[in-house]
Chains A and B, each alone.
Chain A
């Protein structure tokens, strides 16, 4: 491993920026993501920062069952995120559409049809600890040795 790569690994492991986007959820999952910010779970002690700005994000958390308004917009948000990047689907909604995926509704799940999803956290809603755990275990897989793996 080159020296630059090991430096990058060290830096990246302690600075993960997270952004979240709601593509038609019931808010249940969003407030559980917010709860992760609370001092009880203290997401920042792991070097994860929630900015909610796609341009400086590394990880995109997606909640909700994909409504038609997002068709082009979600992809443009995804394109704005700089590499390396990963998307995590939070809750049943982006995975299967949860209770909303019935005849007559406007939703169009799963979100994996529209952008690549790296990990899924099922639950309606998942507990804050599960969300935290997903981010923590996905980050090294995606970001460690990113340049060498790509080459």
Chain B
């Protein structure tokens, strides 16, 4: 991380936002969904989001639970819109690619569970990089 001219190191303040009960729940849910550690998810959030987005995470997660990824079961299981639009941790195009890939494989006859777990694995890899 480079030096700031005016801004202080904001990580402590970002962490303060994420310690509230609701935010913690969201981080835990996402970590559970993709098989990551909660600390990892928290670190990613702090690195990739600005503070107002961090504050808004619980509301966005609720919207996803209610209406996001509604059309397709594979997308819902992979949480495509969740990770690219509602909690934007990853690049939308890359996620779309992984999602299309998984669907393609299911169509070609790979068992559903296998394709899904592979898709999740891919997303996990991508989040970690």
Contacts and interface: CB of A to CB of B under 8 A. Distances in A.
Interface of A: 68-69, 72, 106
Contacts of B13: 68-69
A106 B8 contact: no
A41 to B, nearest CB: 34
A12 B71 CA distance: 69
Contacts, number: 5
Interface of B: 8, 13, 16
B8 A69 contact: yes
The majority secondary structure among interface residues of chain B is helix
A72 B16 contact: no
Nearest to B6: A73
Contacts of B8: 69, 72
A68 B16 CA distance: 12
Nearest to B16: A106
A59 B8 CA distance: 27
A106 B8 CA distance: 16
A69 B16 CA distance: 13
A77 to B, nearest CB: 12
Contacts of A72: 8
B23 to A, nearest CB: 16
